[in-house]
Amino acid sequence: MSDTSSERYRQGMATRRSVLGDAHVDRAQAASTEFDKPFQELITEAAWGHVWSRPALTKRERSMITIALLAALGQDDEVAMHVRATANTGASREDIREALLHVAIYAGVPAANHAIKIAKQVFEQMDAGKAA
């Protein structure tokens, strides 16, 4: 039985769409193959359906934590994706800056410096999209 039938999966998909946006999730779903379908189901159910859907933290707070962790781990593509998602989570640019200052102290200046560069590029793209 596929995880797509579980309530946790359905909740995860709703949360994933609310954070990342329908266009992003639709692209990920369309690009999914038989090889990575189990992985897509896992992250939808576990990350989005279990962790991101918990009520103890707001999406804004989870967004800040996620960006900091991804920056500390050097996960550049994921940092960019989650910076873009702040348009849906309510995390401000100041919030992201503060999270990345924590990264500098607790995970290293190079990690924070690189993540700041990525965030600035994403903000420029987001601003250009608003102007268009």
Q: Answer yes or no: do 49 and 92 share one domain.
A: no
pLDDT of the residue at 2:
57
Q: Answer yes or no: do 78 and 48 share one domain.
A: no
Q: Answer yes or no: do 64 and 24 share one domain.
A: no
Q: For the chain, what is the HEC assignment? A: CCHHHCHHHHHHHHHHHHHHCHHHHHHHHHHCCCCCHHHHHHHHHHHHHHHCCCCCCCHHHHHHHHHHHHHHHCCHHHHHHHHHHHHHHCCCHHHHHHHHHHHHHHCCHHHHHHHHHHHHHHHHHHHHHHHC
Q: Answer yes or no: do 61 and 51 share one domain.
A: no
Per-residue pLDDT tens over the stretch 85-102? 999 999 999 999 999 999
Per-residue pLDDT tens over the stretch 3-26? 568 999 999 999 999 999 999 999
Q: Answer yes or no: do 38 and 11 share one domain.
A: yes
Q: Answer yes or no: do 48 and 80 share one domain.
A: no
Domain count, the chain: 2
pLDDT at 131 over 80: no
Q: pTM of the predicted model, to two decimals?
A: 0.92
Q: Answer yes or no: do 68 and 14 share one domain.
A: no
Query: Domain residues for 96?
Result: 57-132
